[in-house]
Structure 1
Amino acid sequence: MKAESEGGIDRLRMSQCSGLSHISHYKGWALGNLLVSYILPLNMKVVLVVGATGQQGHAVIRALSQSEGFLCLALTRNLDSPKAQRLKSFRNVKLVSADLGDIQQLRSVFEETKASVIGAIWGVFVALAFPGLGLSAEGEEKQGKNIAIVAQEFQVQSYIYSSFIPPFTDDNPPPPGLDRHCKMTIEKHLSSLDFPWTIVRPGVFMENLSPGIIGRMTNATFQHCLPAECKIQFTAVDDIGRLSRVIFDNPLKFKRKTIDIAGDSLTSQELTQSFIRATGQEIPSAPGFVISAIHRLNPTAHDTVEEFIQADRTRRMDPRGFDANIQEAANYVKLTSFEEWARNWNNPTDNDFKGHGMSLWGLLTGRT
């Protein structure tokens, strides 16, 4: 494991000063730095954020950094990447690196942190990288199981896994090997483990409609490929951060619970009207013939549209039951409506959406 320290983070617990020798091999955790650091509060919770440079991980770190009660270990593959370096702007954040596919490297993260003056990892937030539209998610499934197993071994007190609101019923699961199926498999694996986990299920991220080609493609899909009455459940990524903060503040209340979270449920027309009210303009969109071509040529894009339709059909069959969890989430945090999110649509943020590396050619050929 590699680690990098920030000013103001290496705070010693006085009761653990005898453990200084354990951390001399950490990059940036040298004894000299520790001697001039502040005192780490005894009640500070150490939270490992898996996927720290992604949208959700970034949102969780932002929410937790607003409290002095948390120290975030931001897990990333590349400590020197621009996204990882941007995390330094938050207080109480330390960068660590490990390969999620290597369970021994993950164990080293937990072991070395426990042996250091920081102490044991108390909580974990997990948001795994999307492998790509239509691509195999076997690696994602392995990563999800690895981190859960290690978290149980080290007796983590609060474990949050970010999944998705399933657009299908139990008797009609998604095809094996793809992202949707992988997330459900990880959920089942979590439920079999004896430690305090919480599953958070967001809907379609509003950030998918951010400025750029993917935002245009996403809106064109909603406008041209879905029935007029089909409603889509939308989630603002910052709401994931706020809800995670609430869960980490009250771990027993959310122990072994699954919570859906969405701030709005809109048809394509309602989506457009909300955006116009917020910005005074329509959502930028790709030409209808382009998205129609993608829909015909890319089987995965076609299947994604069918999932939206199936999810709406399921809600209509049991609207109260399907939406009950979302209403519960609204009891804990104020959820962001699409109109509220759209007011800042054109403002650059440090949480920009990059479309998972998708391209127009990739969407047309199904190779993205």
Structure 2
Amino acid sequence: MLPTVLVVGGTGAQGTAVVQLLSESRRYAVKVPTRSTTSPQAKALMDLENVSLVEADVFNENDLMRLFTEINMCFINTNGFAVGEKNEIYWSIRMHNIARFCGVKHFVYSSLEYGSKKAGFDPKYRCSHLEGKAKVADFLASQSTNPMNWSVICSGPYMETLSDPFKPRKDENGSYVFEFPLADGAIPFICLKDLAAYALWMFDNPEKCRGLNLAIATQHASGEDVAKAFTSVTGKPARYEDVDLEEYLTKAWKELPNGAETKIGVNFVPNEPTLMTYRENFRGFWNVFRASGGNEGLLTRDYQQLDKILPTRIKTVAEWMEKSGYTGKPQSVLKDRAERIAD
């Protein structure tokens, strides 16, 4: 029988990529928990080889005990936007503890990193959806890798978000305009296909990644890098425009009930006093990337290490655009951004 991998968050953008590649490898059976096996995201996985779906609530102790029984490995990507930072930390740690109790052999956690720690916890860089996952990675670093091995994949914004929400607009002259409040910073984008490939490498090579926190990215891309890549691949004129951060945040989250002042995770815990607003959260988010230009500053990557692990990885924005057929056309990548309850 094939070893079984439980993929928490398997119906999201990241999880779907991981499930698909695990299935394509034909080396693993994959179990995906979901609140509804009839959702469009769940249905898209049903026909994949060696993939099964199970209705469960991953924020419920009884369901977690059932999910982690009789599996060999797991990939955990919790949804901090749905539950808020404090609950993401709590439930991620409980998942680790329950998995270890149930005899899981390898616990792979999908994390992010927080710039405020590297900046002496400067609140200017505080971003709850980065920090929640990063604090779980800090917890894992204090845990033994026996009897349950653990590994961390530390990623960043998906390259695919250049289709939504970071899609370009067309100006009156037909030029494509990429607007970010990035100044001269850079975003360590990662394409989802390669993120999944690093996860597969971890499951295939548990000893090589025992206790490893692997920070991955395709390229530290500035706004200028993105615009130039677009022109080089499509032949269409493009430019980058730095925009005012506060105006950008107001516009980006205008569809939410209280706009950018809506609190992250409010549907899960309505009276939680620690929740950040979208404005507060993404102010820190963009400030972190503004301070990471040129693979220096707050967020850095060891690209030589990444080349060694995955020689076939996509290495630039332009290469991703060419191989993915990117045209700048809007295309939904993430789940509905107004949806605040996790699957």
* Residue aligning to 2:152: 199
Question: Offset at 1:300?
Answer: 3.5
User: For this pair of structures, how many residues does the alignment match?
Assistant: 297
Which residue number corresponds to residue 280 of structure 1? 235
Matches of residues 275-354 of structure 1 in structure 2 within 5 Å? 275-282=230-237, 293-295=247-249, 298-312=279-293, 315-316=295-296, 322-324=300-302, 326-333=303-310, 334-336=312-314, 337-343=316-322, 344-346=324-326, 352-354=332-334
Tell me the distance in 2 between the aligned counterparts of 1:345 and 1:167.
33
Equivalent residue, structure 2, for 1:265:
220
Secondary structure of residue in 1 paired with 2:213: strand
- TM-score w.r.t. the length of structure 1 is 0.71
Is 1:183 aligned with 2:133? yes
Distance 1:188 1:234, change over 3 A: same
* Percent identity of paired positions between Structure 1 and Structure 2: 22
| Structure 2 equivalent of residue 95 of structure 1 | 53
1:140–1:317 CA distance, 2 compared to 1 (3 A): closer
Extract unaligned runs of 5+ from structure 1: 1-40, 115-120, 360-368
Query: Aligned residue for 1:136?
Result: 84
Distance (whole Å) between structure 1 residues aligned to residue 239 and residue 54 of structure 2:
38
Distance 1:352 1:254 in 2: 33
Shift of 1:328: 1.3
Matched, 1:105 2:57: no
Q: Is the 8 A contact 1:47 1:123 kept in 2?
A: yes
Matched to 1:316, the amino acid is: E
Q: Distance in 2 between matches of 1:239 and 1:283?
A: 26
CA contact (8 A) 1:122 1:156 kept: yes
Deviation at 1:254, TM superposition (A): 0.5
Question: How far did residue 80 of structure 1 move?
Answer: 1.4
The answer to whether the 8 Å contact 2:6/2:75 transfers is: yes
Aligned CA distance change for structure 1 residues 287 and 204 (closer, same or farther; 3 Å)? closer
Q: Does 1:246 align with 2:201?
A: yes
Structure 1 residues 174 and 126: alpha-carbon distance in aligned structure 2, compared to 1, 3 A threshold: farther
Give the 3-state SS of the residue equivalent to 1:100 in structure 2: coil
In the other structure, the counterpart of 2:25 is 67
**Alpha carbons 1:174, 1:180 under 8 Å: kept:** no
What amino acid does structure 2 have at the position aligned with 1:71?
A
Counterparts of 1:74 and 1:286, CA distance in 2: 41
Matched, 1:148 2:96: yes
Q: Which amino acid aligns with 2:285?
A: T
Do the aligned partners of residues 81 and 284 (structure 1) sit closer, same or farther apart at CA in structure 2, a change above 3 Å counting?
Answer: farther
Distance 1:205 1:282, change over 3 A: farther
TM-score of the superposed pair, with normalisation by structure 2: 0.75
CA RMSD of aligned residues (A): 3.3
Secondary structure of the residue aligned to 2:81 is coil
- Is the contact between residue 163 and residue 201 of structure 1 (CA under 8 Å) also seen in structure 2? yes
How far residue 168 of structure 1 moved from its aligned partner, in angstroms, is 4.0
Q: Distance in 1 between matches of 2:166 and 2:336?
A: 9
Whose radius of gyration is greater, 1 or 2? 1
Partner of 1:225: 181
Please give the secondary structure, in 1, of the residue aligned with 2:44. Answer: helix
Partner of 1:88: helix, strand, or coil? Answer: coil
Look up the match of 1:215: 167
Provide the C-alpha distance between the structure 2 equivalents of 1:283 and 1:208, rounded to a whole number of angstroms: 17
CA contact (8 A) 2:93 2:136 kept: yes
Deviations 1:145-185 (A, max 9, x none): 22111111122222111112433444523768922221122
- Residue of structure 2 in register with 1:161 after alignment: 109
| Residues 222 and 193 of structure 1: CA distance in aligned 2, closer, same or farther (over 3 Å) | farther
Q: Deviations along 1:261-316, whole A, 9 cap, x unmatched?
A: 11112221111111222222356999958x76234773433322211123338x43
Which amino acid is the alignment partner of residue 122 of structure 1?
N
Q: Distance in 1 between matches of 2:133 and 2:239?
A: 31
Q: 1:101-145: per-residue Cα shift (whole Å, max 9, x none)?
A: 21221101233xx3xxxxxx111001112416xx83223222212
Which secondary structure does the structure 2 equivalent of 1:149 belong to? helix
Alpha-carbon displacement from aligned partner over 1:218-257 (angstroms, at most 9, x marks no partner): xx997452223x2221100111111111111111110100
Of structures 1 and 2, the one with the larger relative CO (CA 8 A, separation 6+) is: 2
